[in-house]
Amino acid sequence: MSEAWPRSDGETRKRVQRVGSIAMAALLTAFTIGCTSSASSPTTISSVAVAGTAPAVGATSQFTATATLMDGTTQDVTSLATWSSSNSSEATVSSSGLVAGVGAGTVTIQATYQRVTGADQITVNPSLLSPCHGGGGVRVLRGGSFSKDNKSLMHIQTNIEPSGAVTL
């Protein structure tokens, strides 16, 4: 910088160097003051757990996703996770983890958070049957009920099936 100055006396050269150094120091100070560090170490997820109750066909059930951090603490990430179903003809899942039973069968519900995926395999059962009359009785699935208005004509014989269904 001082070599390009047209005057060649030593005093001018020193002033230019001093002013240049001060300007450079001021510029570096301003840059340093204006610069803030926002880097933080990312939270490391060790696993994601998916939990919920399998809905029957035509019903819904809210699932949850819980992330376990490397330090052992847990965090509910249900609303932050990306949800998916392995077979949408058996169950669908919304972006908030609400699972809807579509067809009977086994399906895997997955939640992914920060590139870590957790899964829960569920069995979607047929919907509860409405009572029907005639030819073979009434079949009521677990959780269902049956009632008859004319109790004087009622004779009950039950058969409990391995699936938990009861035939009356």
For residue 85, CA distances in Å to 90, 94, 158 come to 9, 9, 37
- State the Cα–Cα distance between residues 71 and 87, nearest whole angstrom: 34
Q: How many helices (H) and strands (E) does the chain have?
A: 1, 12
**The tokens of 48 are what?**
């994601």
Record the pTM. 0.54
Which residues share a beta bridge with 23? none
Using an 8 Å Cβ cutoff, are 87 and 105 in contact? yes
CATH class of domain segment(s) 45-124: mainly beta
**The tokens of 8 are what?**
């060649």
- Considering only CA atoms, which of 30, 38, 111 is closest in space to residue 77? 111
- pLDDT tens per residue, the chain (168 residues)? 555 555 555 555 555 555 555 555 544 444 445 545 444 446 799 999 999 999 999 999 999 999 999 999 999 999 999 999 999 999 999 999 999 999 999 999 999 999 999 999 999 998 765 544 444 555 555 556 556 555 555 555 566 666 656 555
